[in-house]
Amino acid sequence: MSLALFGLGNKSSKTVKHFKRIPEGSHQHDMMKHAAATLGSGNLKLAVQLPEGEDLNEWIAVNTVDFFNQINMLYGTITEHCTTESCPVMSAGPKYEYHWADGTSVKKPIKCSAPKYIDYLMTWVQDQLDNETIFPSKIGTSFPRNFITIAKTILKRLFRVYAHIYHAHFDDIISLKEEAHLNTSFKHFIYFVHEFTLIEKKELSPMQELIDRMMKA
Ligand SMILES: [Zn+2]
């Protein structure tokens, strides 16, 4: 049993620091409302489709922000269970281990604990979302040419947080009665990345079994 269970370990006092708000009254906010309404109907296949007349980049942008917020919230519920003692490496089951590199400021991958890796990851994603040249919030400002490529990298990395939660913390999620919330969020995410082919199949392999079941259901 780890020390963390007794509150003696490296107990995280982190508050939810990563969050991005989509301003009310903006077109992006309307898109989110539309998406939420379709999601409420329970038809995920339809809910992830590009709404008629909308811009694909903008649709991918608002959904990426939404997934980031959801994952941040879900991970936030288990941070005290995800410590350097419980999770000394960032993993998704015994076969997959991740080392952090962002490709620009960190080129040589760093082997670190899961909480450290996820902190690097969420901070990096937030920096992308807050960058006006990548995620323009002003009307009439266009997305960069390579926007989809950047979005793919963001989503590929966010997927790893889901994968870590499922593989290392599903029991914690169950005791918090958060499993329906996690499953709904992950299923929505998978339908979305599938609709626009945003994550390569090999990246999804740590969760392939559940994905196959979810896509069939
Ligand atoms: Zn963990």
Q: What is the mean pLDDT of residues 115-122?
A: 97
- 6 Cα–ligand 1 center, Å: 16
Position 2 scores a pLDDT of 36
User: How far, in Å, from the CA of 215 to the mean position of ligand 1?
Assistant: 26
117 alpha carbon to ligand 1 midpoint, in Å?
10
Residue 13 predicted with pLDDT over 90? no
The domain locations on the chain are: 65-216
pLDDT digits (tens, 9 = 90+) for 82-98: 999 999 999 999 999 99
Residue 32 has a pLDDT of: 82
> Do the annotations mark residue 112 as ligand-binding?
no
Q: Name the residue among 124, 119, 100 with its Cα closest to residue 110.
A: 100
Least confidently predicted of 15-19, 67-71, 79-83, 172-176 = 15-19
pLDDT in tens, 21-64: 888 888 888 888 877 877 777 788 999 999 999 999 999 999 99
Quick check: 8 pLDDT over 60? no
Residue-wise pLDDT tens digits, 137-184: 877 789 999 999 999 999 999 999 999 999 999 999 999 999 999 999
pLDDT of residue 216: 86
Q: For residue 116, report the distance from its CA to the centre of ligand 1, in Å.
A: 10
**pLDDT at 185 > cutoff 90:** yes
Distance (Å, whole) CA 44 – CA 184 = 10
Measured in angstroms, how far is the CA atom of residue 86 from the centroid of ligand 1? 6
Cα of 83 from ligand 1 centre, angstroms: 6
Q: Between vectors from CA 149 to CA 52 and to CA 42, what angle results, nearest 5°?
A: 40
Q: Which residue has the higher pLDDT, 167 or 104?
A: 167
Percent of the chain with pLDDT over 90: 74
3-state class of 91 per DSSP?
strand
Dist. CA 107 → ligand 1 center (Å): 24
169 known member of a binding site:
yes
pLDDT of residue 14: 44
- Residue 141 DSSP code: P
CA of 164 to the centre of ligand 1 (A): 6
Q: Please give the Cα distance from 104 to 144 (Å, whole number).
A: 18
How high is the pLDDT of residue 17?
A: 63
Tell me how far apart the alpha carbons of residues 115 and 89 are, in angstroms, rounded to a whole number. 9
pLDDT of amino acid 58: 93
Exposure class string for 155-172: b at 16+ Cβ within 10 A, else e:
bebbbbbbbbbbbbbeeb
Read out DSSP for the chain?
--GGGGT-S-----------PPPTTSHHHHHHHHHHHHHHTT-HHHHTSPPTT--HHHHHHHHHHHHHHHHHHHHHHHGGG--TTT-SSEESSTT-EE-B--SSS--SPBP--HHHHHHHHHHHHHHHHT-TTTS--STTPPPPTTHHHHHHHHHHHHHHHHHHHHHHHHHHHHHTT-HHHHHHHHHHHHHHHHHTT-S-HHHHGGGHHHHHHHHH-
pTM: 0.89
Answer whether residue 7 shows pLDDT above 50.
no
Query: In the prediction, which pLDDT does 135 show?
Result: 94
Query: What is 65-216's CATH topology?
Result: Butyryl-CoA Dehydrogenase, subunit A; domain 3 (1.20.140)
* Cα separation, 129 vs 18, whole angstroms: 11
